[in-house]
Structure 1
Amino acid sequence: MATISSLGIGSGLDLNSLLDQLNAAERKKLAPIKLQQQGHQAKISAYGKLQSALTKLQEAAAKLNDPKFFQSVSSNVTGSGVKAAAKSDAPPGRYSVNVTGLATAQSIAASGVESRTAQLGGGSVNLTLGTGEPIDIAIDSAKSTLEDIRKAINDSKSGVTATIVNDGSGNPHRLVITSNKTGTEAAVTASFSGGLEARLGATPETVVTAKNASLTVNGIAITSQTNQVEGAIQGVTLDLEEETAEGGSNIVVVERNTLAIREAVSGFVKAYNDLRSTNSELTRFNSDTGVAGELLGDSTLRTVESRLRGVLSGGVGGGDFRMLSDIGITLQRDGTLKLDEEKMSGIVANEPQALAAFFAGENKAGGLAGRLGETLDQVLRDRGLLDNAKRGLESRITSLKDRHERMERSIEQTIQRYRTQFGQLDAMVANMNQMSDYLFQQFDMMNAQLGRKK
């Protein structure tokens, strides 16, 4: 059978060009399917943009759905000797903190030896931490170097750390044992027995005495086992770093973190307005060009907008604040929210509990932020409104893909049928041309025989 590259050779007809035109005409049937696929894919991408904007609003609402957030406080310190960290239960106030002494950990040192690697003889190390039970650490005579003893003490996990210090004397290497905790309750004592006693002494000498931290808060004396003091000021942790110089002071100021609350409310308003902007972009229509947004007239988007408007306009049932307008947030004609920052600042400063009740309520879904979060969860969760809409489009795209493939196979079969018919036509015309040439030859021969040919 003649191939497409040889079509028309026998007949002289431009059958290849004709076949190409028929193929192009048949493939135009695929264009509507491709357009539908592109349209569905564009809607899925648009749903992605919508989901991103909704998620940001969900995060902004979740931040406001926490009563403790509205009780948050911050602390700042004037002075270099103290750092302070305040929790939500810290009462606002101003505190003068003076450090008169830092807590220290007990350190004791044994007598020096000439070599840190020489065997010192067997025996035991007896350790006592504070008023705790004594701990005996056995030392084998074959593993009794200063390094071995240090390792045995550290491996015992007895609440101390052993090190070796070189003091530069004739017997420079000294075993130093330091409590892992500061304060008198963690003071460490030790004794050596057996062969160790002869080389290291019966009891190490104290080189650093255990001390408790001492400080005053607004003139009241306080002691602490550590340099991290909790409870001296309710809800505040003080980290003591240096003693206060004579005549100096550290001022700790605890105040309500109004800035964080204002920023959270402002962030909520911005997230909603950004969502409105995204929706406007996805539903726009340009009358001059006829170009429409991917979700123009989309029922899913209309449902989302309707649900959100219902929550925002419905407000909450009780409390000093019931509607967004009560706290300085008003709905504009274009659907966006506007925040009266001056009014909000006053509410944050003077009525934080009422604001917390409005947004957070008594339970997770009791306030406006909780209700909005619940609605957004129904939209954004797996098998939620948005997910189901996307799944529906993906199913249609798969169906269109199958339809496209079936139609392509049908077009290929049609073109193959045309190719076969054109091949047969080409052969038939070629045969007719050959027959015509033969007859003309015979007629010419007959005319010649009859003397008719000149």
Structure 2
Amino acid sequence: MSSITSLGIGSGLDLNGLLGQLEEAEQAKLAPIAQQVEDQQVKISAYGEMQSTLSAFDDSVAALNDPALFQSVTSNVTGSAVQAAAGAEASPGRYDVEVGQIATAGNLATERVSDLETVVSEDGGTLELSFANGELNHNVAIEADSTLEDVRDAINADPEAAVNASIIFDGEGHRLALMSEETGEQASIIGTNFDQLAAGNLAGDPGGTVSQAGQDAELMVNGIDINSATNQIEDAIQGVTLDLQEPGSSTVVVERDNATIRDSIVGFVDAYNEMKSTTGQLTAFNGEEGEAGPLIGDSTVRAIESSLRNDLASGVTQNGELALLSDMGLSLSVDGTLELDEQQLDSALANDPDGVASFFAGDEATPGLAGRLASTTEQLLSSNGALEGSINSAETRIGSLEDRFERTEQSIDRTLDRYRTQFAQLDGMLGQMQQTSNYLTEQLNGLGGGQGGGGMGGMM
């Protein structure tokens, strides 16, 4: 840079200023290239927006392409005797449920111990647990010098004990309380040898064992008697799980879950219109501000819109007859968005639910509208699809422009170096000429002064 700042010293000309103007003019060659790079980057971002909204639309299409959606059912319960949850296998219908009794777990409280610090078993031993179902009988090892709390902990630590142990105070002493882990008559705890294990260490008034046998649930479904060891009954109504709450009456109505189907169709419409809105913004021209969207006139966008519009307008053949969007309460408006007639959709769901399912999800032999759209969106979003191809093309263009930018920069540097060298040579040449001019002027002035002096001397 020192060579630049020294320019003009010899000649007195503003060569630095001139060189700066030339450099500014050369640098201007880079601006169009940088703008093209920026344009391509904006395009890539716009394609990314398209991918995002198309992906969201693809998700909504996938939901409608799932036959399970149209097989979903819901259960409504009146009365507080039961709660119900319907699965995919449930058949629509009405079921009257009468609960006579709910299933309970067996309980047993042992004889009393006067104090929690009392050693129940000095030598240790075995606590025998007996159940209505003898296969559940189990012995729990009790260590020497165990208190009532130690016995409780030993039971709860044994995974085969089939009871939960706790301690209760009945106002006169402490008892070991045992509750069966499972409900029902057969799982009921019915006895122990606690009095033998703790012989000699019980309270003065040990009292007797207090027990309450477990019981099975008893109910009727549409007049059919049902017994169950648990309060959760999964096989009384196919595909429906009943959860018994209390004795009493309830009505369970199983019906097709039209609300979920409707929500999926509304979501499909919203996702498509959101995609159209994004596309419109990216391809719009603002006449007032003179600004064009980054994808205005883009062939990829036109191809995507055309493919989806063709799928939507083609309809679906059902039993030899053509079904159209309008049959489902849907229509393509003038601006290309989808419009939904909610009343007509609700009517189709109520009167021809199988037709709605066939239109959107199709069957094993023929895809429905959602299946056709799914194939289209899958191709568009694939690594070999139109969007990814456009992104790759823009990235390749950016790489080419960056190479061109670098070459142009190098060319500008060489040009400026040449200007700098030429200006330095010019400055030196002009400086030498100025020195020569000054020398000659001095010499001529000197010659003129000598002649004048000689003439005056002669006159004297």
2:144 to 130, 133, 141: 141
Match of 1:15 in 2: 15
The verdict on how the C-alpha distance between 1:276 and 1:452 changes in structure 2, with shifts beyond 3 A counting, is farther
Provide the C-alpha distance between the structure 2 equivalents of 1:407 and 1:148, rounded to a whole number of angstroms. Answer: 89
Instruction: After superposition, give the CA deviation of every residue in 1:246-267 in whole Å (9 maximum; x if it has no partner).
Output: xxx4333333222222232233
- Aligned residue pair count: 448
Per the alignment, in what secondary structure is the counterpart of residue 29 of structure 2? helix
Aligned-partner residue type, residue 318 of structure 2: G
Per the alignment, in what secondary structure is the counterpart of residue 38 of structure 2? helix
Q: After the TM superposition, list the runs of 4 or more consecutive aligned residues in structure 1 that deviate by more than 6 angstroms.
A: 200-204
Instruction: After superposition, give the CA deviation of every residue in 1:421-451 in whole Å (9 maximum; x if it has no partner).
Output: 3334334433433343343333333333333
| Structure 2 spans left out of the alignment, 5+ residues | none
Pairing of 1:391-406 with structure 2 (within 5 A): 391-406=392-407
Identity %: 47
2:244 to 240, 244, 255: 240
Deviation at 1:26, TM superposition (A): 0.9
Deviation at 1:369, TM superposition (A): 0.6
Deviation at 1:342, TM superposition (A): 2.7
Check conservation: 2:164, 2:181, Cα contact below 8 A.
no
Aligned-partner residue type, residue 417 of structure 1: R
The verdict on how the C-alpha distance between 1:365 and 1:36 changes in structure 2, with shifts beyond 3 A counting, is farther
2:213 to 192, 209, 216: 209
Instruction: After superposition, give the CA deviation of every residue in 1:148-205 in whole Å (9 maximum; x if it has no partner).
Output: 4333323321263543324065542x33332222112322355348983425799993
Provide the C-alpha distance between the structure 2 equivalents of 1:450 and 1:218, rounded to a whole number of angstroms. Answer: 149
Deviation at 1:373, TM superposition (A): 0.6
Provide the C-alpha distance between the structure 2 equivalents of 1:203 and 1:161, rounded to a whole number of angstroms. Answer: 22
| Structure 1 spans left out of the alignment, 5+ residues | none
Provide the C-alpha distance between the structure 2 equivalents of 1:429 and 1:440, rounded to a whole number of angstroms. Answer: 16
TM-score (norm 2): 0.85
Provide the C-alpha distance between the structure 2 equivalents of 1:61 and 1:15, rounded to a whole number of angstroms. Answer: 69
Pairing of 1:369-408 with structure 2 (within 5 A): 369-408=370-409
TM-score (norm 1): 0.86
Match of 1:443 in 2: 444
Pairing of 1:52-451 with structure 2 (within 5 A): 52-113=52-113, 114-116=115-117, 118=119, 120=121, 121-128=123-130, 130-141=133-144, 144-158=146-160, 160-167=162-169, 169=171, 171-172=173-174, 174-189=175-190, 191-192=192-193, 196-198=197-199, 199=201, 205-244=209-248, 249-286=249-286, 290-319=290-319, 322-363=323-364, 366-451=367-452
The verdict on how the C-alpha distance between 1:3 and 1:29 changes in structure 2, with shifts beyond 3 A counting, is same
Provide the C-alpha distance between the structure 1 equivalents of 2:359 and 2:50, rounded to a whole number of angstroms. Answer: 27
Deviation at 1:218, TM superposition (A): 4.1
Per the alignment, in what secondary structure is the counterpart of residue 182 of structure 2? coil
The verdict on how the C-alpha distance between 1:43 and 1:77 changes in structure 2, with shifts beyond 3 A counting, is same
Per the alignment, in what secondary structure is the counterpart of residue 334 of structure 1? coil
Check conservation: 2:46, 2:282, Cα contact below 8 A.
yes
Provide the C-alpha distance between the structure 1 equivalents of 2:333 and 2:46, rounded to a whole number of angstroms. Answer: 25
Instruction: After superposition, give the CA deviation of every residue in 1:186-232 in whole Å (9 maximum; x if it has no partner).
Output: 22355348983425799993544312223333444433222222233
The verdict on how the C-alpha distance between 1:228 and 1:390 changes in structure 2, with shifts beyond 3 A counting, is same
Per the alignment, in what secondary structure is the counterpart of residue 176 of structure 1? strand
Aligned-partner residue type, residue 392 of structure 2: R
Per the alignment, in what secondary structure is the counterpart of residue 184 of structure 1? coil
Check conservation: 2:120, 2:202, Cα contact below 8 A.
no
Larger Rg: 2
* RMSD over equivalenced CA pairs, Å: 3.2
Query: Which deviates more, 54-63 or 200-209?
Result: 200-209
Provide the C-alpha distance between the structure 2 equivalents of 1:411 and 1:145, rounded to a whole number of angstroms. Answer: 96
Match of 1:26 in 2: 26
The verdict on how the C-alpha distance between 1:117 and 1:197 changes in structure 2, with shifts beyond 3 A counting, is closer
Check conservation: 1:190, 1:204, Cα contact below 8 A.
no
The verdict on how the C-alpha distance between 1:234 and 1:206 changes in structure 2, with shifts beyond 3 A counting, is farther
The verdict on how the C-alpha distance between 1:118 and 1:3 changes in structure 2, with shifts beyond 3 A counting, is farther
Deviation at 1:354, TM superposition (A): 1.8
Provide the C-alpha distance between the structure 1 equivalents of 2:329 and 2:300, rounded to a whole number of angstroms. Answer: 30
The verdict on how the C-alpha distance between 1:435 and 1:256 changes in structure 2, with shifts beyond 3 A counting, is same
